[in-house]
Structures are given as C-alpha cells and as structure tokens.
C-alpha cells in the first residue's frame, strides 16, 4: 500500500513529466487563450485534457462544522514580502526573486509551510503578455487630465507578471424582516404675498408635502457568486474595478494552467470573506426593501436578515500586474487577464485640472450674465 507521502511524490513526478517538452526537454507553459501547453523554444504544443469534474459549491455550515476534514487541501511554502506584505508562493528551490506586486527584491531566508484549502476552479488567462502591453499603452493614451509628458513619453514598465489571485465566491438565500416608513407626496395650495411693480400682491402656489405612514414586512433575496478577493496584496479599489468576470467560464483546477505563471495563497479566510460578502449584499437587500415599501420615499428603520443555504467556492482569477515609472515615481496597474480591463494608479496634471475648473467657472458666469 502506498502512503500519502509516496502518492504526493508520484503526483509531482507525473505532472513534471507532462510539463516537459518531448522535443527539446524544456518546460511547457500554458498558452493564454487556448487549452494548450506550449514550448517557448521549439514551439511544440500539448493539449490540456478537459476535466469531467463538476465545479461544485461547498456547503459553508457543513464545512465549518467538519473543520475542513472532507475537503481537499494542499501544502504550500510561502513567504511575505517585507515591502508590500504580499503572500508569495515560490517555485521549489528558488532562493531569490522579485516581488510581482511591488517589484522589490526578496531573498528567501525562511518560509512557512501552510495547509490550505485547495482551489476547486480557476479562470485561465485569455490575454497574453504581448496583448497586456498593448492594452496598457492604450490605457495610458486615454487617461483624462494626465500630464502631456506621460502620453508622449516612452513609459518604462517593470516586468509584467501574470498571477492567479485567490478569490472566494458566495451564494446565499436571504430572508429579511424590516420596519420602516412610507412617504407619499401630496400638494397643498399655499397663499403668499410678493411685490410686483412696486405693489404688494397675493398669489398662490402648490407646495409638495410628504405623508409618512408606518411600514413593515419581509423580503427574500437570492445571491449568486458574490465575489470577494482573498488577497491583501492588491489595492481593493482597483481590483474591484476589474470586474465583471465571466465566472461561467470557470474550469476545474489543474496545475497545468499555472505553468509559466505565479499564484498567490489566500490571506483572507473563508469566514472573514463571508462577512465581506454580506456587506456587499446589504445594498441589494435595502433596495429590495425600498421597492417593497413603495411610495415616493422610504425610510428603513430596522433590518433583520437570516442567511440560508450559504455555499462558497475557492477560485483563482488571472491578473497581469506591473508598474511604471514617471518622473521618479512608481505607479502600479492591473489588467484583467480574461477581459483585458485595465485599472491602476496614474499621475494627474494640476495645470489641466485648474484650466478645466476655470473654464467651468467662466461658462457659469456667462450663463448668469446672459439670463439677467
């Protein structure tokens, strides 16, 4: 009987053999936009066999109660970048590298081995490195209020890194009881006096009022694939702007898709992720309550939400990450490896913004003068 350590060694050897090019012996890398592994040297291609495994949601309550016992796990060796705090997973036998998030040089002095929940699925890269560079240059040219020098300059980019970033997705059926107030508009005729041509005259006008009545009830909501990033390494406001992702194209996890790319282990656990997902659900629930109350205005006084049938997935999403230098400052940018959406930090032209504000002021003043 083969023990678990022997089985692990056999699995690693099998994967290693599948990643070796039969033509020249080099390591095959996943080719974005295909289902192929490609040799960078001789051009040989090997297909990645389509998995018949169904991508399933994990029952959250059962998962917590059984404390991961029945879910497949992996052991990873990771270290933390001292500059930006990213949790980086390195290939075996690598003792120094460059942080893919902030470009800082890191030397492996001591790493930590962690047992983590194995990803069940991922979105393979569709955008390749060349296309990522083209998308970055197009993004730079479209930036509003950017310094003219930025668009004219040949911006020096750091190495572009393709990284599979960990995410959680959550499904839930919610049932929310509430109390609130419904506001209905009505109009009253109000008498007032004014001065016209030096004479005091009496006039009437319609004034809008709001009649408030008590409201209560309960509303259901169904949430599907609420996305929560499980990394602290990326600026959240930019990573969230990379959405939407087409999660309908998720494939079962396969190490071959990671060949030639980096991956990060999750830093946000599944319970913390669920709390973040609930925060994302609240605006939708409040909107449903407002529709249920009806009327012209609504006030929500209390909300009590029950979360039922909560399930989750641990997935990896493809992101190109790099930075560029402009006038001795470094700006990071991200590219959605599936859709090509670009988001990131950018410089602003104070002069252009000031001129735009001045122009708006001039237009407003001109309108006031012409209407007097």
Place of tokens 């099998």: 14
Question: 65-74, 109-118, 158-167, 291-300: which has the minimum mean pLDDT?
Answer: 109-118
pLDDT digits (tens, 9 = 90+) for 72-83: 655 555 666 666
Q: Calculate what percentage of the chain has a pLDDT beyond 90.
A: 38
The mean pLDDT value of the chain amounts to 82
Q: What is residue 84's predicted lDDT score, i.e. its pLDDT? A: 63
- Rounded CA-CA distance 133/340 in Å is 10
DSSP notation for 269-318? -HHHHHHHHHHHHHHHHHHHHHHHH-SSEEEEEEEEEEEEEEEEEEEEEE
Question: pLDDT grade, residue 289 (50/70/90)?
Answer: very high
Residue 366 confidence class, pLDDT cut points 50, 70, 90: confident
Structural contact between residues 170 and 308, judged by C-beta atoms closer than 8 angstroms: no
Q: Are 21 and 36 in contact (CB under 8 A)?
A: no
What are the start-end ranges of the E strands in the chain? 29-31, 36-38, 45-47, 58-59, 73-80, 87-89, 96-98, 105-107, 112-117, 121-122, 156-157, 161-196, 199-229, 251-252, 262-263, 297-326, 329-336, 342-344
Residue 296 pLDDT grade (very low, low, confident, very high; cuts 50, 70, 90): very high
The model carries a pTM of 0.79
The total of other beta-carbon atoms located within 10 Å of residue 234's CB is 21
196-226 pLDDT per residue, tens: 888 888 889 999 999 999 999 999 999 999 9
The string of pLDDT tens digits covering residues 113-123 is 455 678 889 99
pLDDT computed for residue 219 by the predictor: 97
Average pLDDT for 46-64: 86
Has residue 233 got a pLDDT over 70? yes
Extents of the domains making up the chain: 50-177+216-355
| Residue 291 pLDDT grade (very low, low, confident, very high; cuts 50, 70, 90) | very high
Sheet strand arrangement including 73-80 = 87-89, 73-80, 112-117
Least confident of 9-18, 265-274, 338-347: 9-18
Distance CA 331, CA 144 (A): 16
Residue 2: its pLDDT value, please?
40
Reported confidence tier of residue 45, pLDDT bands at 50, 70, 90: confident
By CB neighbour count within 10 A (0-12 exposed, 13-18 middle, 19+ buried), where does 173 fall? Answer: middle
Residue-level pLDDT at 305: 97
pLDDT at 70 over 80: no
Instruction: Supply the pLDDT for residue 8.
Output: 43
Question: Angle at CA 216, nearest 5°, toward 212 and 222?
Answer: 125
Q: Which residues of 178-216 are buried (b: 16+ CB within 10 A; e: fewer)?
A: bbbbbbeeeeeeeeeeeeeeeeeeeeeeeeeeeeeeebe
Residues counted in the chain: 372
Question: What are 139's two structure tokens?
Answer: 């993004």
């Amino acid at each position: 009987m083969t023990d678990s350590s022997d089985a692990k060694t056999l699995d690693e050897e099998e994967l290693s053999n599948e990643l070796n090019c039969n033509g020249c012996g080099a390591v095959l890398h996943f080719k974005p936009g295909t289902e192929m592994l490609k040799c960078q040297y001789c051009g040989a291609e090997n297909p990645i066999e389509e998995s018949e495994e169904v991508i399933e949601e994990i029952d959250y309550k059962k998962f917590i109660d059984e404390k991961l016992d029945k879910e497949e796990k992996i052991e990873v060796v990771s270290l933390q970048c001292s500059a930006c705090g990213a949790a980086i997973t390195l290939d075996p036998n690598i003792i120094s590298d460059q942080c893919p998030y902030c470009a800082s040089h890191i030397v492996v002095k001591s790493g930590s081995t962690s047992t983590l929940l194995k990803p069940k699925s991922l979105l393979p890269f569709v955008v390749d490195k060349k296309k990522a560079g083209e998308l970055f240059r197009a993004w730079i040219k479209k930036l509003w209020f950017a310094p003219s020098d930025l668009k004219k300059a040949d911006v020096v980019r750091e190495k572009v890194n393709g990284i599979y970033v960990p995410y959680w997705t959550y499904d839930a059926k919610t049932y929310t009881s509430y109390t609130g107030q419904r506001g209905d508009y009505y109009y009253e005729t109000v008498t007032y006096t004014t001065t016209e041509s030096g004479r005091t005259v009496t006039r009437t006008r319609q004034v809008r009022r709001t009649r408030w009545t008590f409201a209560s009830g309960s509303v259901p909501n169904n949430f599907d694939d609420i996305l929560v990033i499980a990394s602290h390494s990326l600026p959240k406001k930019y990573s969230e702007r990379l959405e939407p992702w087409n999660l309908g194209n998720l494939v079962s996890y396969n190490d071959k898709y990671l060949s030639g790319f980096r991956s990060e282990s999750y830093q946000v656990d599944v319970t913390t992720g669920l709390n973040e997902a609930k925060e994302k659900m609240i605006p939708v629930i409040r909107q449903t309550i407002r529709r249920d109350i009806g009327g012209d205005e609504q006030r929500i006084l209390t909300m009590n939400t029950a979360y039922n049938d909560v399930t989750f997935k641990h997935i990896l999403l493809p992101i190109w990450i790099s930075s560029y230098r402009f006038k001795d400052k470094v700006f990071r940018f991200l590219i959605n490896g599936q859709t090509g959406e670009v988001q990131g930090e950018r410089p602003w032209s104070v002069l252009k913004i000031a001129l735009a504000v001045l122009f708006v002021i001039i237009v407003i003043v001109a309108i006031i003068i012409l209407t007097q």
